[in-house]
Amino acid sequence: MTRMPAPARQMRSGRRRSSSSKWVVLALLGMLVGGGWLVSRAMLGRSAPLLSPALQAPTPASGTIVNVAIAQGETTADIARDLQEKGLVPSEAVFLGVLKLRGTGSSFQPGVHEVTAGWSIEQIIAALEQPVAPKDIRITLPEGLRMEEQADLAARAGIGVSQDFVQLATQPDPSWDYDFLADRPKGASLQGYLFPDTYLVPGRSPNPRDLIKRMLDAFDKRVDTGLRQKVAANKHTLYDTLIIASIVEREAKVPAERPLIAGVYWNRLNTNQGLFADPTVQYALGKPGSWWPRLSADDLKVNSPYNTYTHPGLPPGPIANPGLASIQAAANPQGDFLYFVAKNDGSGEHAFARTLAEHNANRAKYGS
């Protein structure tokens, strides 16, 4: 027969179990706190990369100088996000955790700080706490880049974060009522209008809005009235001309060939033939870290309105931001060619053809 314990004994036994559990919990908490402190102290004295490479943002080469811009009144969370995006810290959570342990964060100084990739979090914090004299940020944006690539270059130069650049370029400020934007389709981004050039952005409070506005101002100045009148005389819209110019920018390696390549695409459009332009497929397949991938035969079948092998006519919009030479070429096309193929001899030149038979002969000759 099973005997039931007396009530008094049951209560004493319960107190002992409760007391033991409490000490176990306290011990575990102590171990967690101690372990967290050791990890944090290790974090303070080592270079930032702590997470697995798959979880980290792209990290610049050790020793690379990266500009980190802090605006007046910017929060530590914003600064941490910027550092993570630039690949200087493993994550914003880790950076904010270290700040909390140190009890600092409010002493960061506005301005553009130069941070060396590979620094420990402790070194980064110390650098951001130093006053800096405002200075202009010089940034060069080459021809033929997608707006995402421009955004990344701007962020690395210390001009805001790339997401803000892309968002503003995708949904531009309605107050930007430039004449040249008049024929831009509703909902279209500013891709094609973000003029490649070298810009100076005030370092006191650098931001993507200021940079994009300067790029649009440059477009307005460089793509002048005479060039726009030439586009109109061709009975083309400026937007369509920018689409062709963006493809020319990605195709042309030899400056003298730009008008010929532009001529091929306009001629194919005029004869209701597909553009068959590889850069448009690259654009469709592009992703962070590989914006312009090398194509395979299967890639040419990708289901995308930007695939000019499977969709006739022009793609929905420009695939990159062309420079002035490519825009001029698209407005002044030359030749009666319908085909071209790379010579693959290191010269960057292409062989042009008027007929498919000539084109196939060129492909056989140059192994394309």
The amino acid at residue 51 is L
Alpha-carbon dihedral sign for residues 251, 256, 257, 263: positive
Tokens of 202: 């005030």
pLDDT above 60 for 42: no
Helix (H) or strand (E) holding 351: strand 350-353
Residue 80 pLDDT > 80: yes
Q: Which token pair is 65?
A: 């100088």
42-56, 121-135, 220-234: the lowest-pLDDT one: 42-56
In the chain, alpha helices (H): 7-44, 76-85, 92-102, 121-128, 147-156, 162-170, 208-222, 225-233, 238-251, 258-270, 278-285, 324-331, 356-366
- Per the model's pLDDT, the better-predicted residue between 15 and 89 turns out to be 89
Kindly list the structural domains of the chain, giving each domain's residue range(s) and its CATH number in brackets, ordered by start: 59-128 (3.30.1490.480), 137-222 (no CATH), 225-336 (no CATH)
Residues 360-367 have a mean pLDDT of 94
Cα distance between residue 326 and residue 244, in whole Å: 9
Q: pLDDT at residue 277 above 80? A: yes
pTM: 0.69
CA-to-CA distance for 23 and 16, rounded, in angstroms? 11
Query: Does the pLDDT of residue 25 top 80, yes or no?
Result: no
Residue 366 has pLDDT above 80, yes or no: yes
* pLDDT, greater one: 44 or 159: 159
DSSP code per residue over 63-88: T-EEEEEE-TT--HHHHHHHHHHTTS
Total number of residues shown for the chain: 368
Would you say residue 126 has pLDDT above 70?
Answer: yes
Predicted pLDDT of residue 105: 62
Confidence of residue 261 (pLDDT cuts 50, 70, 90): very high
State the Cα–Cα distance between residues 203 and 219, nearest whole angstrom. Answer: 23
Give the model's pLDDT for residue 28: 39
Does the pLDDT at position 27 exceed 60?
no
Query: Residues 213-228: pLDDT tens digits?
Result: 999 999 999 999 999 9
Q: Report DSSP letters for 266-280, one per residue.
A: HHHHHTT-----HHH
What pLDDT does 1 receive? 38
Query: Encoding tokens for residue 54?
Result: 């798959």
Q: Give residue 264's pLDDT.
A: 98
pLDDT per residue over 90-116, tens digit each?
999 999 999 888 876 668 988 889 999
| Per-chain mean pLDDT for the chain | 85
CA-to-CA separations, 69 to 61, 169, 250, in angstroms, rounded: 20, 20, 32
pLDDT value at position 168? 97
**β-pair type (137-140, 65-70):** unpaired
Q: Which residue type does 177 have?
A: D
Distances, alpha carbon 181 to alpha carbons 38, 164, 191, 304, in Å: 57, 21, 11, 25
Q: Give residue 106's pLDDT.
A: 66
C-alpha span between 60 and 337 (Å, rounded): 44
Taking residues 6-16, report their average pLDDT. Answer: 32
Band (147; pLDDT cuts 50, 70, 90): very high
Poorest-pLDDT segment among 94-108, 150-164, 247-261, 270-284: 94-108
Region 358-366: mean pLDDT is 95
Question: Helices (DSSP H) in 171-223: which residue ranges?
Answer: 208-222
Residue owning tokens 């409070």? 205
Judge whether residue 29 has pLDDT over 60.
Answer: no
